[in-house]
Chains A and B, each alone.
Chain A
């Protein structure tokens, strides 16, 4: 199906769906996603990311092809489904984005400040990081989530992430768990996954990153957390920060056993 026709067809399906209240939003988004089929614009980010991965960049004029994402230097396929994990070279638990920052610093010679600059795209601004994330996550499509939790630092990150998930604060007293710790809740018409429950966590986690039609951007999991905390009325979550990695560890491990299927497409 040609991309434009696909998009129009999808929008039509979506418009019809507004009237069909007996159907759940999740089902509608699934239909919407299927209608787009192989016309997911995330492919554009994936292609740009692949170029960025292979391009010699930075002061050391090196590509990222020797970056070890956990399965060995340069192994891309399936790596994302095992992240976050403990890396001996940094003695830290890293998620995909923080691992990329490490590789951009060690292999390409960027400073950390340069590597974390522009983590998210916006109007008139493309993010290299989101391109790389699209390419590398796509390489785990169809792979079963298998995030390790054996190393003491992995255990620590999971426990920390769990506490952050339940941390109520700010003027609205919200925690992640306010919306995502109970079964079958809805905000307006949006179904909310209970991320403490295996099947919900599997369904939700394996669908990020996603191309957000409403924003015209591919959004990484780091962005998802950043934007959740904004709506939670918290201060701004720092990109690739320890709290963001710990929370990702908690959510990723809860999704173990699910089949990774992203970048996806969402409203």
Chain B
């Protein structure tokens, strides 16, 4: 990916949008904000200060301030993120949906108050409807009830579900969803289990 082009092309638009409100460009303001944040946070347990640093996706999506990206920037970002997806070596994408359901329910992991020795959760229900049994679900993401029943159980859909859980940015640039595989939140086996929750015909998601 051409990182410079990405940032420059988006940056120009950002500066135009900001108008004459300030002499600083949006990039300069963001750099200043990072500097202030570095002095205003402290390490606590597993949460080190480098968590404030941003990769290209985080930087570009922060600058967009929840507004849609220009199409060329969006396409480049999507492509770059797609290249980061790793599929399991054994070629098997589906694990155990029952374990997937437990992972979908659990919101622990990666907070400075969490014990890093314990397995992380994915907290899918915080944002998505998945099953009819769980009525406490959020709406930040779309409903995933009947995920595969609607879209089909094909190997292509399995591959898509894997990629989406592994790196959501590869399909929807600036998505609010964490990159569970790419960022090391879930293990390969855990992603298999979550994909099974979505794709297994016997999963309550598809009932």
Tell me if A181 is interfacial: C-beta within 8 Å of chain B: yes
CB distance from A192 to the nearest CB of B (A): 8
**How far does the alpha carbon of A169 sit from the alpha carbon of B44 in the complex, in Å?**
16
**How far does the alpha carbon of A233 sit from the alpha carbon of B136 in the complex, in Å?**
22
Q: Report the count of interface residues on B (CB-CB < 8 A).
A: 49
Among the listed A182, A234, A235, A238, which residue makes an inter-chain contact with B66, where contact means beta carbons less than 8 Å apart? A182
Could you mark each residue 16-31 of chain B with 1 if its beta carbon is under 8 Å from any beta carbon of chain A, else 0? 0000001010000110
Could you mark each residue 156-180 of chain A with 1 if its beta carbon is under 8 Å from any beta carbon of chain B, else 0? 0001100110111111111101110
Of B54-62, B143-151, B194-202, the one with at least 4 CB within 8 A of chain A:
B54-62
Of A65-73, A99-107, A121-129, A240-248, the one with at least 4 CB within 8 A of chain B:
A240-248
**How far does the alpha carbon of A238 sit from the alpha carbon of B178 in the complex, in Å?**
25
The residue on B at minimum CB distance from A184 is: B139
**How far does the alpha carbon of A178 sit from the alpha carbon of B123 in the complex, in Å?**
15
Q: Decide yes or no: A181 and B51 within 8 Å by CB, A173-B179, A233-B111 being known contacts.
A: no
CB distance from B181 to the nearest CB of A (A): 12
CB distance from A184 to the nearest CB of B (A): 8
B36 lies within 8 A of A246 (CB): yes
CB distance from B167 to the nearest CB of A (A): 10
Tell me if A186 is interfacial: C-beta within 8 Å of chain B: yes
Residues of chain A in range 230-267 having any CB-CB distance to chain B below 8 Å: 230-231, 233-238, 241-244, 246
B residues adjacent to A (C-beta < 8 A):
22, 24, 29-30, 32-34, 36-37, 39-44, 47-49, 51-54, 57-58, 61-63, 65-66, 110-113, 125-127, 135-140, 169, 176, 178-179, 183-185
